[in-house]
Amino acid sequence: MKPTGPTNPYLKKLIEDLKQKSKELKAPIWKAVAEKLEKPRRKKVEVNVYEIERYAKEGETVVVPGVVLGSGEIRKKVRVAAWRFSPKAEEKIKKAGGIVMKIEDLVKENPKGSNVKILV
């Protein structure tokens, strides 16, 4: 029988930590993010920068439980936390004045997950 769930040890640890933080802090946002990250590869979340431009407001904090890709343009200053960024996506977000961060950094900075939008 094949193993189920992610095989990447870093991703496994992140999912485990998010679930634990969700219980400790009574912050359901981190459980929702962990569940999205746990999905099979074919169902993983991929968000392009044009989608961040479309759905996020200026100055907002957005978490992407998956990969941010570089298709499209972004002009808003947005803080984006994700599991992974393509080099182009990272470049475009920073060029627009936004901030790129890992999900675990966002959890440390905003443990309750208040005023954070999940983009899927």
Q: What is the mean pLDDT of residues 49-57?
A: 96
CB 61 within 8 A of CB 110: yes
The overall average pLDDT reported for the chain is 94
Lowest mean pLDDT among 13-17, 39-43, 83-87, 103-107: 39-43
The pLDDT, as a whole number, for residue 7 is 85
Give the chain's domains with CATH numbers: 9-118 (3.100.10.10)
User: What single DSSP character describes residue 39?
Assistant: S
22 φ/ψ angles, rounded to the nearest 5 degrees: -60, -45
> Measured on CA atoms in the order 81, 87, 88, 91, is the torsion positive or negative?
positive
**Residue 89 amino acid letter:** A
